[in-house]
Structure 1
Amino acid sequence: MKVFSLTAGLLSVRIGFLAFAAVATATSSVAFNPAQAALLARVPAAREMAVCGDMLFVGTKGSSVYALPVSGGRARPVASGFSAPNGVACTGNRLFVASRNSVTAFDIGPGGALSGRRNIRQGLANSGVHSLRYIGVGPDSRLYVSLGSPCNICQPRGMQGTIVSMKQDGSDLRRVAWGVRNSVGFDWHNGAMFFTDNGADRMGDNIPPDELNELRLGGFYGFPYFGGGIRLKGFENTRPPAQQIPPALDFQAHVATLGIHFFRSLGGDALVAEHGSWNRSIPVGRQVVRVRFQGGRPVSATTFARGVGRPVDVKEAPDGSVLVSDDAGGAIYAFRG
């Protein structure tokens, strides 16, 4: 594996790369050159990102949301007082922040300044476990938020272990998926939502798999009865309440799939952040993988890049660059064509 020494302003980092790929599309063609990758900014405990015009907003595991120019520059906190504002998403001049207990809306001003803070939805299902929310704006203009299960393997209650949607004022809350263990990433491809889900722990090195699922409104995705096609401990002989929708693609167990984004600059393929294992005898993950799609369905996953810490989220900049957040290193990386 080659190791390149990269510099962005006063910041430098050493990153190892295994694979880079791009294909030409009708709208764009970007060739990702390892030597053109860079550390874009330092953001403590960086999590989900939102590209909003020429600004990049970054959620964190701390108490603040950060902003910086997409082109690079110093990141600064623009909103604080949250409990783990993991999720950020924008539409028009509005930013939405999903924290452990609430969804908060802001108006975006020049330079990423935020104003008009208002809690549009409070009292989210929060057990303290799997409570880092992912948020996105769907093609239907509704907000989608993931609500993780309260445990490794147990029976969720209420809205735990679901993905929900709501209007942009926080009203009309709907459960759109259930039986979801812990989804911390989703995106839309040709109108269909695909979401990642983390498999259960403490069942050995190789089962159950992490998952990529396609949303069917109201669908049941198996937890806590199934992880992929594997029956989970304690529920082996329990009849599920509904027919499981099987994963569209299995990932290796314990890679901890998080953020996913479909890239124009990769011909509509997706990149997925694998945060990495914490209790496997031989560690896996800690990379970004490219998921190839054919006929609207995922068919394979291969390494796109390693050496970017513990990746959390992936997004596409307006110029087609790939942005990757790393919460362990407190960093945002940019892969530019």
Structure 2
Amino acid sequence: MTILENASMSTPDRGVDEVSQRLVESAARLSRNAMTEIDWSEPMDPAHYGCSPEWSTLYGTDYWNELTVEQQVTLTRHEFASIMNVGIWFEMILQELVLRDQYLGRYHEPEFQFALTEIADECRHSIMFAKASSKMVGTSYHPPRRIGRLGKIFQHTARGAVSYAGILVAEEILDVFQRGCMRDERVLPFIRTINEIHVLEESRHMKFAREQVRESMAGMSPLKRRFCALYTSLGALYIVSNLVQPQVYANAGLDVDRALAERRTNKHFHAMVRSNCTHLMEFLDDVGLLTRAARRNYRRVHMI
């Protein structure tokens, strides 16, 4: 065996590092800064929505049709503030997962360097979301305390494929909402800019996570694969079902019970989520993470 062949056998899989190198270079060229790019003091046009009306959880329902345009605008602003705030919650979880995974990593390799680039991006994104929420509605939204505790459990127990599959699913879910709104001129301009920044930078994070998942799934036993699939789907279930908190409807001046009832049966919103999660479901199926048990959880939140 030659020295070169021996070195090749002792070197970890190069797929992740090759992708990571490209992503490090992309981040250096294309990263954006919302703190300098957005004029945070600019007044908000009262006619502009917080997200495209079609992405409201109540769009298409009788309740939505009864609302004035002003009420619809207010609702979408609170809805998107909740989505951004819950985004902050799971981005903080994701940062810990990545940092723990790289704790004693190969510091000289692109994988480690991009992992820290991702963490830095997530910190900036969370600040961006926090400032946007403050400007748009002046309040914060959090998942219920029980969900917060479950997030802590996930934070401390997720490893390998579960960790990066969870990262991928969480980022894809937020990406779905933002892609649907980032070029809609009915939406507040600074929110459109935030969506553009986040979609651009999260596309790198999702590429990194996909490579990590593929590498982690290689040679995995059927039992462990089924466990990873189920655990990942549970994470998705809790994230999607908590994106828009019930307090949103109260703060928008709506009847909370009626709003929740109409949201549960809103076929338009369910179809929007399902059609925009097709790519994610195809990837999970391709790597073996779309088992029968996992499918049940994704169906519960209309991702499939």
- Indicate the TM-score class for this superposition, using the shorter chain for normalisation: under 0.3
Higher Rg: 2
- Greater relative contact order: 1 or 2 (C-alpha under 8 angstroms, separation 6 or more)? 2
TM-score (normalised: structure 2): 0.27
Which of the two has greater strand per residue?
1
TM-score (normalised: structure 1): 0.25
Which of the two has greater helix per residue?
2
